[in-house]
Structure 1
Amino acid sequence: MGVDLVFEDQLLEGHEEQIRSNAPMARFSSLPCLNRLLGGVYPGLVTVIGAQPACGKTTLLGQMADDLARQGTPSIVVSAELPAFRVVEKSLVRCSNGAFSLSDVTRVANRDDGAYAAAKEEYALAIAPDVCVIDSPVTIPDLARVVGDCVHLRGRAPAVFVDYLQLIATSGVDASGDERIAILNCVRALGDLARTYAAPLYLLSSIARTSYDKLDVGLDVFGGSQGIEYGIDNALYLTVEGDTKAERQANLELALRPVRLRALKVRYGRVGSASLRFDAAHATFWEADRAHA
């Protein structure tokens, strides 16, 4: 296929049409700060999310998926760590609006509990029709087929949430394999999938252990960072707040953990940060100025 010399005055009208249509396909409602940091939910973009331990990145991913599903955007959740019922369990707790916690959910589910019944009904009506949780081993071609099926069935691309990147990338790598190459290839393949179907893709990533206690981090914080750095559009990093290691440890023990979500790389949003509160017991993030006591 040859390349022709065509000056932009001949292409301007087509470019302008694309510029006008290049708008977010959705916006997050439970955490509006995500719209400020990322510009909204853009089709075909790949976002990676990393976090220090105990900051709740899996919960954050699930809340984002539920948020979009409530708005009618199909959401596919690939859960390589938690079984599907655990993912749904967290959603039910969020739907209870604080009526019961993760430690209570089994007990209330086994008795005639009105709060559980109400949470289940809300989840069944408002979220479940637009969420698909995959907890079995999945390859990139498998995922592409599911995304394609969703486009065919619903007439629109789904948002795809992967928990988490390194586990899926290295699931078929033996001890003699190079994990960095596996991660690089996985990110490239997932990026191709996102662009092919115009599906926004959100990937949880592990971080380097040497970065656990660092306050100032860059894209090298992610495991397999070179492959991630050059294969993604957005990068978010979640860290517990505190100026010292002792203060950060104390904050991790609070009922509402103060955490900060930082944008390290963005395509349409802006590099910045947002202060959040992580309610681990109720599997919910709140923006700091909206946090429930």
Structure 2
Amino acid sequence: MLLINLEFLEQSILATMLEENYLIMDSQLKPEMFYGQHHRQLFILMQQLITEGHPVDYLTLSARFEQMETIGVTYLTELMMFANVEKFDDYAQLLREIWRERQKAQILFQAAEGDWAILQIIERLDNTQLEGNQIDTSITQNLVAMHNRPWEEVNTPGLIVPHIHDLASIIDGFRPGELTIIAARPSMGKTDVMNNIALQAGWQGHLPIIFSLEMSKTILLDRLIATTGHYSRLKMRNPKEYFSEEQKNKWMRVLEDVNKSSIHLDDRSSLTMPQIRSQARRIIRQNQNKTPVILIDYLQIIQTDGDYEHSAMAMGKISRALKQMAKEFNCPVICLSQLNRNVEARSNKRPLMSDLRDSGSIEQDADVIILLYRNSYYETEKTDAPDLLEFIVAKNRNGPTGLAKAIYNKKTGHIWTRSEINA
């Protein structure tokens, strides 16, 4: 049964590599990790083509007649049905683990036959664990690169600086490798905050990638346009009837400004973390000249691969995967989150970090946690006038916590700083 499963596993990995050629090298797999000899030969051939600068597909592989003779050209067409980009990372990791188990069994057999010393066995087993995961652990080169640091302008590559000055003064910016959680009660303004961050990041020259699990692409685009053009979202429902001539005349300019943000938007509603990671990686590979920022709306509706007895366990797995993705892609990951109902029962309704739904793992994994609050949200008389939006920085792993304030226009979704706001 193991061999049958391993055959399918290797077929899926190779088929996905044929579909997404960059995975051939990025996966850091080695030929010896494949159990099937024909799969090992195919992977070697794929690596050769990449090294020579060729694409890897049916035509380029079939052109290598002698090397493909033992594999069979027709096998390539059968192979393609096993491609699964979303599962690739999990499958590649599973292949490594199976290979390590084979290596351990072989080492223990050789040790028994050769009467190896304990230290020799341990050394060989340790090398097997590190195989395929070699990293440079020395700090010398890092320190050498810092020799001129006290005399240089501070420049953090990939830093996304928020346009809200009060917030920037606390968190400095959204940093590569860090996970930021922005949490609030429903309709407090989370999505508009995300949209403003995405637009500003894009205009700064970065690559915003939005995963909108709740809103459709059409609705979110309307909100991005309304925010950029300062259009009332109510009027956006029928621009021909409700727009003024001035608003209509600037329409094309607004669309151009939104397009300049270089936002990529995936609005599939039932995404898992492997699917999010796979899609993000594809977009990043296609836009290698820009630093990405990944934004997700929102945490509690990301799908899990299995059934969990407690929702906190599911949230824990997702929050860890979000942090791992930030480190893997070396980019900021900003994820929106709901707050639980506890805040509604208190007289002081400003949220606390403990109000995060299934908060334990989120508090642990997040580098920055920002809680949103508007006093007008709880007022009985509602108005459309712009009001004060508070950014409560409840956790900041690499800096201070504190309170930032901005003006929020609920009609348009636009958020901006006013110097005359009193602290």
Shorter-chain TM-score tier: 0.7 to 0.9
Q: Is the 8 A contact 2:224 2:258 kept in 1?
A: no
Report the equivalent of 1:150: 283
Partners in 2 of 1:259 and 1:80 — Cα distance?
24
Report the equivalent of 1:206: 338
Offset of 1:224 from its aligned partner? Answer: 1.1
Inter-CA distance 55–266: structure 2 relative to 1 (3 Å threshold): same
Report the equivalent of 2:326: 194
Partners in 1 of 2:317 and 2:382 — Cα distance?
35
1:219 has 2:353 as partner: yes
Partners in 2 of 1:234 and 1:144 — Cα distance?
21
Offset of 1:72 from its aligned partner? Answer: 1.8
Q: Is the 8 A contact 1:150 1:157 kept in 2?
A: no
Bigger share in helix: 2
- SS state of the match for residue 181, structure 1? helix
Q: Is the 8 A contact 2:227 2:413 kept in 1?
A: yes
Partners in 2 of 1:180 and 1:86 — Cα distance?
30
Partners in 2 of 1:268 and 1:16 — Cα distance?
23
Partners in 2 of 1:248 and 1:287 — Cα distance?
22
1:289 has 2:422 as partner: no
Partners in 2 of 1:126 and 1:254 — Cα distance?
24
Q: Is the 8 A contact 1:38 1:266 kept in 2?
A: yes
Report the equivalent of 2:223: 90
Partners in 1 of 2:367 and 2:351 — Cα distance?
18
Choose which of 307, 314, 317 in structure 2 pairs with 1:182.
314
Partners in 1 of 2:281 and 2:336 — Cα distance?
22
Choose which of 81, 85, 88 in structure 1 pairs with 2:214.
81
Report the equivalent of 1:5: none
- SS state of the match for residue 159, structure 2? coil
1:271 has 2:404 as partner: no
For this pair of structures, how many residues does the alignment match?
277
Q: Residues 166-215 of structure 1: CA distance to partner in whole angstroms, max 9, x if unpaired?
A: 11146x666x7421111100111111111001121001111110123444
Report the equivalent of 1:102: 233
- SS state of the match for residue 371, structure 2? strand
Inter-CA distance 266–16: structure 2 relative to 1 (3 Å threshold): farther
Partners in 1 of 2:393 and 2:382 — Cα distance?
21
1:240 has 2:370 as partner: no
Question: Normalization by structure 1: what TM-score?
Answer: 0.82
Choose which of 20, 44, 69 in structure 1 pairs with 2:177.
44
Offset of 1:130 from its aligned partner? Answer: 1.1
Bigger share in strand: 1
Q: Is the 8 A contact 1:241 1:251 kept in 2?
A: no
**Greater relative contact order (Cα 8 A, min sep 6): structure 1 or 2?**
1
Report the equivalent of 1:259: 389
Which amino acid is the alignment partner of residue 115 of structure 1?
Q
Offset of 1:273 from its aligned partner? Answer: 0.6
Offset of 1:31 from its aligned partner? Answer: 1.7
Q: Is the 8 A contact 1:38 1:267 kept in 2?
A: no
Partners in 2 of 1:282 and 1:186 — Cα distance?
32
Q: Which runs of 5+ in 2 are unaligned?
A: 1-125, 128-137
Choose which of 275, 290, 299 in structure 2 pairs with 1:165.
299
Q: Is the 8 A contact 1:33 1:274 kept in 2?
A: yes
Q: Residues 221-278 of structure 1: CA distance to partner in whole angstroms, max 9, x if unpaired?
A: 1111011011110000011237xxxx94258645222221110111334211112222
Partners in 2 of 1:152 and 1:56 — Cα distance?
32
Report the equivalent of 2:30: none
Which amino acid is the alignment partner of residue 286 of structure 2?
L
206-215 or 276-285: which moved more?
206-215
Q: Is the 8 A contact 1:93 1:283 kept in 2?
A: yes
Partners in 1 of 2:354 and 2:173 — Cα distance?
25
1:65 has 2:198 as partner: yes
Question: Considering only CA atoms, is the larger Rg found in Structure 1 or Structure 2?
Answer: 2
Which amino acid is the alignment partner of residue 259 of structure 1?
L
Q: Residues 63-118 of structure 1: CA distance to partner in whole angstroms, max 9, x if unpaired?
A: 1111111122111111111111111111111222x3x3000012215789552452
Partners in 2 of 1:132 and 1:32 — Cα distance?
26
Give the ranges of 4+ consecutive aligned residues of structure 1 lying more than 6 Å apart after TM superposition.
Answer: none
Question: Normalization by structure 2: what TM-score?
Answer: 0.59
- SS state of the match for residue 411, structure 2? helix
Partners in 2 of 1:79 and 1:216 — Cα distance?
26
Report the equivalent of 1:7: none
Report the equivalent of 1:130: 262
Report the equivalent of 1:229: 363
Q: Which runs of 5+ in 1 are unaligned?
A: 3-9
